[in-house]
Amino acid sequence: MTNDEIRGFIDNAIQENEVMLFMKGTPNQPACGFSARTAGALNALGVQYAALDILPDPRIRQELSELSGWPTIPQLFVKGELVGGADIVMEMFENGELASTLGVEQAEDAAELAEPEPARQRIGLENRLD
């Protein structure tokens, strides 16, 4: 795939999925703590989301960062808009703003549920960028 095709694939994934997480690894097997915490927050809120592992091809991260203007991974998009990376997502999760942004209720014990664990409700997104 060319870089333009990768960028098109990324842009399409952002537009087609209401909640889109670009991360290192997968929600079931995160490859870094930041990705694990971000997926954990989404899992704790019980939202469906698509996730894409950026590790198989360095061009994915490069094109994603150029498209979003955000240098770090993970990157969370909601309704086509960049929410931010792990620190922003976790701050929003802790103060209830993430639940509000996603249109869901946040349980009182949600912070405990945000500890990394396998995803229960997610949409798989096949990585066809080989």
DSSP per residue, the chain: --HHHHHHHHHHHHHH-SEEEEESB-SSSBSSHHHHHHHHHHHHHT---EEEE-TT-HHHHHHHHHHHS--SS-EEEETTEEEE-HHHHHHHHHHTHHHHHHT----TTHHHHTS----SS-EE------
Task: Return the structure tokens found at 40.
Answer: 């954990």
Report domain extents, the chain: 3-105
Distance in angstroms (rounded) separating the CA atoms of residues 72 and 79? 20
Please name the fold of domain 3-105.
Glutaredoxin (3.40.30)
Distance in angstroms (rounded) separating the CA atoms of residues 95 and 67? 28
Distance in angstroms (rounded) separating the CA atoms of residues 116 and 118? 7
Read off the pLDDT of each residue in 123-127 and give the average, rounded to a whole number: 55
Confidence grade of residue 107 (pLDDT, cut at 50, 70, 90)? confident
Confidence grade of residue 118 (pLDDT, cut at 50, 70, 90)? very low
Question: Could you tell me the pTM of the whole model?
Answer: 0.83
Distance in angstroms (rounded) separating the CA atoms of residues 45 and 69? 27
- The reported pLDDT for the residue numbered 124 is 54
Q: pLDDT, tens digit, for every residue of 27-63?
A: 999 999 999 999 999 999 999 999 999 999 999 999 9
